[in-house]
Amino acid sequence: MTPASPGRGRPDLTGRDDIETLARAFYERAFADDLLGPVFVDVAHMDLEAHLPIICNFWQTVLFRAGLYRRNALTAHTDLHAKFALQPEHFARWLELWTSTVDAHFAGEKAELAKTQASRTAWSISRRLLGESGSELITVEGRPLPGAAAVLADEDEDSGIEDAGGDPACWAHRVCRECGRFAEDPRAQVCAACGEDLPSRDTDYA
């Protein structure tokens, strides 16, 4: 049975073109939504054509480890929150629209990941805006993501920090357990992409 079968023939997300299709469909609904529309249109004054490449970079990085997203999603939402107090119901509605839009267009492993990571990112940012920890331990596996060691080994050469030796997994505390981004700043405590707390150096990854 192919991955698309449970989705009644809908394809899985396979790359940037699919991500753009998904994002456009989502924002069309979000802009027209009674709760989210005023936030996007009247407060954020969002220019979709200007913002879309950033959104695609984010999801291409989250879903396919493309390494294209170099911004700080938490900061962007903090700036918006200063203009308009974003509440948990805004994030719940965002997630509801995102999930239903994914399900309407795609089905498969990456589609499921898009929904899972959206939930983790949304609630992590929501908690941080309320002054709480971004962590939700029930969703965290406490181990480096698949392929993280190879990514970290590639980054080591340009990090400017001397390696004390040992396996590249010693850099695992710089890999976000929510979205998989590697923190370029060795002093970072929060993921610049999704706002999740980065693991401490004492985290047990076994």
DSSP string covering 182-204 = B-SSTT--B-TTT-PBPPPTT--
Considering the domain architecture, whether residues 42 and 113 belong to the same structural domain is answered as yes
Task: Pick the more confident residue, 188 or 151.
Answer: 188
Task: Pick the more confident residue, 61 or 153.
Answer: 61
Q: Give the tokens for residue 175.
A: 């890999």
Which residue among 101, 129, 157 closes a domain? 129
Q: Give the tokens for residue 145.
A: 């993501």
The residues, any chain, with a CB within 8 Å of residue 41's CB and separated by 6 or more, are: 31
What is the spatial distance between Cα 108 and Cα 103, in angstroms, rounded to a whole number? Answer: 10
- The answer as to whether 153 is a domain residue is yes
CA neighbor of 136 nearest in space, from 196, 206, 191: 196
Rounded mean pLDDT of 44-49? 95
Domain that holds residue 23: 7-129
Considering the domain architecture, whether residues 122 and 163 belong to the same structural domain is answered as no
pTM score of the predicted model:
0.67
**DSSP letters for 42-59:** IIS---HHHHHHHHHHHH
Window from 2-11, 26-35, 118-127 with minimum mean pLDDT: 2-11
What is the spatial distance between Cα 146 and Cα 81, in angstroms, rounded to a whole number? Answer: 34
What is the spatial distance between Cα 118 and Cα 35, in angstroms, rounded to a whole number? Answer: 18
> Cα 23 to chain center, whole Å?
14
Which residue among 73, 96, 129 closes a domain? 129
Considering the domain architecture, whether residues 150 and 111 belong to the same structural domain is answered as no
Tell me the per-residue pLDDT of 80-132, one tens digit each, with 9 for 90 and over.
999 999 999 999 999 999 999 999 999 999 999 999 999 988 998 998 898 87
Is residue 18 within 8 Å of residue 11, measured between CB atoms?
yes
